[in-house]
Structure formats: C-alpha cells, structure tokens
Structure 1
C-alpha cells in the first residue's frame, strides 16, 4: 500500500533513561531528534513537511514503547485538511505500549477547511501496567463565505486493546450537512476536544480530586467526563476557541503528571 507519509518509532528504557532505539520515516512525514525536557524521558516532534493534507492523502504512524519506556510526543504544527474532491484524507496511527510504559501524546489541532473530508483511526495496544494519555482537538477552518462548518465531514475512531481485548471504542463523527447545533451534537459550540487517560494510577481518590479540579473550568465551555470499565478517564470539551481547549487540556495534563508521576508540568506548544 502506498502512503503519502509513513513514520515508525520505537522507544526503550536503558539504564533508567528512555532512548529512541529505532526510527524510520518517508514521504511527507519527518521526526525530530529527541529533546530531553526531563533527564529520564524524551519528547519527540512529528513533522509534516507538505504544509497540509489534500485529496486522497494517506498517512500512517506507528509508535512502540518497550517495557518501562516513557515518551512524550506532539506535532510541530496543526494538521490542516484542505478540499478533498474525489477521496477523503486518511490517517492511521498505531500505539503499542508494553509493561510499565508511559506515552503522553498531544498533537496540535486538526483544522478542517471548506469541503474537507477526513478519516482518522487510532489503535492502541497496551498492558494493564502501562499508561496512555492522549488529547485530540477538532476545529473548523476558514472558508471563503466566512461561515463555520464548511467541511464535508470528520470521522475519528479510537480503538483501545487492553491486555489483548478491545475495551474502549470511541467514534466521533461530525457532518455539518446533518446539523451541528442540536442537542447531543455541538450544541452551539464550534470546537471539540477529546482527552483519554488510561492508567492504573486512575483510582477513586484520583477521580475525586479531578472532580474538584473541574470547578476551575470557565463557564464559557462545556466539559463532560466519564470513566470506562478499565482504570481511566475520558474527557470531552466543547468550546468556541482552540486555545481554550488547549488550556484545559494543559491543566488536566499537569494534574495527571503531578498525581500519577510526581512530575512537574511540561509545556509542549511551539509558540
């Protein structure tokens, strides 16, 4: 199968420090050298060198964490989806987390422009002792008419396999042509963010503290959260601006790092 961009990366623990043991990329995907914001685990930046996704593009990323590895990953800039006339843009991402590994993945937002069609599928394979933290933001792009929601549709699926069993399936489908304003849809908001934290550190005490922390969320947004049948937390945020969701995700990410790993906040934005 031909890919517009293909990226593979493997992280391993070596002498108490996570290192990138193997990496490969081709096409429009690139990968930066690891940056050690903390001495024990690196941060990597995924780069798209084409400037945006266009009609028929297909991308695939595979990130593997071996036992005990801890990796932070983000993107260099927003994922821009431009007009798709014949075939939708497709993006597939596979994460594999071995025992006691930790992946923190916060890509920049997806921006869907006029007449864009975007299909995203994220598959996670993890162990009971591993931790998966993932934040995703969908936003409408500029259109010539000035109207919002001019993209055709966005479909984002997340499938999480826990000790080999499918334990979480999340499907976000946004199609402006069917109406975006009603209840159980965007309810008047324009931007949506989804945050997943699956970890053995998510206990009843953690959730009680998290519930108190959500009182700090501004009234201008709508935040809802739930717990899956495995130890974890799922958060959905509706807002009118990207930076508002990013700020809330940063607050939650900081809370998780402090409560679960006793580590200081990390700032991943590039500006």
Structure 2
C-alpha cells in the first residue's frame, strides 16, 4: 500500500516542488534537472519492490501554470501473484495553463497468476501538454510459457477544462489484456506478439500530419504499430499510439524515438537519457 502527492510550480524560470507528501510504499527521490529548460525530474520509488494482491497505490500529481515535470520510476513495476484480489494503481493528474507533464515509467511486468488494474485520470487546460508512454510485458514463468498472468487493465481518461465550462472528455483509452487458456501465441491474441507499448499525447499542436510523421518513424522498428487521433476539444487534440512487439527494448526504443522528436520540436530539448545505473 502506498500514497504519493506531488505538486510542482514554476519559480524563477525553473519548476520546483510546491507540495510533497508520501506514506507507505511510495516516495520520490530528490529532484534533478537534465538540461537548462527548467523542467524538473522526479523519480518514483517503491521500496517494497513489487505489487501484490489487494495492494492499492494512490498517486496525485499537480503541475501548475507554466511548470514542467518529468515523472519516471526507479525500476520496472512488477506485479506478482495476486490470489484473492488484484493489485491496483490510481493516478490523478491536473495540469494548469501552459503546464507540461512527461510520464515515463519503466515497463510494467505481470508475472504468473497476476491481476493488475491501473487507472489514470488527467484534467488539463487547452494550453497544456501531456505525454504518457508505457510498456507492458509478461514476466518469467517456470514452465517457459509466454503468458501466465490473469489480466492487465489500463484505463486512461483525459479531460479538458476550458474556462467558463465544465470539463469535457477528450479521450477514454481503455485496454484489457486477458490471456486465454491454452495456446496464446497465435493470431487473434495480440497478433502473436508478447509485449505492448502505448503512447498518449495531448497538445494543441497534435494533428494528422504529426500522426503520419510518427507512424513513419515507427516503421524502422520491429513492431506492429497503429496511431489514432481523438476529437478536438477547445483547440487541443489527443493522439494514441499502440505498438506490439516481442521485445521490451524494441518498444522502449520506438517510444523514445517518438517522444524525443516531440521534446526537440516543441521544447528544444535533447534526447531523454535518465541514466539510472
């Protein structure tokens, strides 16, 4: 069990923590800056090392007006056997005017007999920028089988809060991976692939031309990729990329190539290198 609250604001050209609270099995390391853009990086740590049955982790993040936050994890999120109940993570995110969040966790690994649910709710302003990347991979199984976890549910909600009106739903991205019993390696279940990568981008600069460019960029990778656009709400649009592969490293490279393009084009930043070792 764990709870984490983090609030970031802009001060003197840099983003700094305005509020920070943690209890249980969640905390963050000391902040650092990867470049001179003013974007602050925090790394979430789970000292327990894994999620178990009936575990509940609550994360609340607020990025104030004009602030920029890169939120990463220290290592992969591991979900072990969850007899009797599932493990769950709920994240609530709020972005102010001109605020920016890059959410870059390490891969989610679901092991044998694991059941995991993750719900992320984001409320942002039309001028906000959001990038969320994630990889799901099956964990090691004693019998060498490709899939032995029970299910993984990932639900992302993105709401646009425009001045003078109630928040409107921009995107609902609901993913359920439930491996069938028996042979799960053929067509019809993840098209014979074992790993899944997802990228969600919301920004006023998202359009069909960007979706086409990112799709062309993914063609250089050993993965099956599709991209779709959301509707436009108050001048901002979302993009959802889904990619299938048999390699965590391949999916990480693919997602990194897409996010590095956005970092450079929109914010003048270099490629992301978290160097955790």
Quickly name the TM-score band, shorter chain normalised.
over 0.9
Q: Distance in 2 between matches of 1:118 and 1:91?
A: 8
For the residues of structure 2 that align with 1:200 and 1:94, how far apart are their CA atoms? 21
1:229 aligned to which of 213, 216, 231: 231
CA distance in 2, matches of 1:232, 1:161: 11
Q: Please, what TM-score do these two structures have when normalized by structure 2?
A: 0.92
Of 183, 186, 210, the residue aligned with 2:190 is: 186
Offset at 1:209?
3.5
- SS of the aligned residue for 2:210 comes to helix
Paired residue secondary structure (1:256):
helix
The TM-score, its normalising length taken from structure 1, stands at 0.93
Contact persistence 2:146–2:184 (CA under 8 A): no
- Say what the alpha-carbon RMSD is for the aligned residues: 1.5
2:164 maps to none
The CA deviation string for residues 9-47 of structure 1, in whole angstroms up to 9 with x for no partner, is 000011221111110001000111111112312110000
1:206 aligned onto 2:210 = yes
Residue 104 of structure 1: aligned partner: 102
Paired with 2:10 and 2:229, the residues of 1 have a C-alpha distance of 30
Matched, 1:148 2:115: no
Separation in structure 2 between the aligned mates of residue 88 and residue 269 of structure 1, nearest angstrom: 32
Unpaired runs of 5+ in structure 2? 162-166
Matches within 5 A, 1:61-72: 61-72=59-70
SS at match of 2:271: coil
- Equivalence map 1:214-225=2 (5 Å): 214-215=218-219, 217-218=220-221, 220-225=222-227
Q: Does the residue aligned with 1:83 lie in a helix, a strand or coil?
A: coil
Match of 1:58 in 2: 56
8 Å CA contact 1:206–1:259 kept in 2: the answer is: no
Alpha-carbon distance between aligned partners in 1 of 2:226 and 2:8, rounded to the nearest angstrom: 33
Change (3 A) 1:60 1:150: same
Q: Flag the 1:205–1:190 CA change in 2: closer, same or farther, 3 A.
A: closer
- Counterpart in 1 of 2:268? 262
- Tell me the equivalent position of 2:42: 44
**2:13 corresponds to which residue?**
16
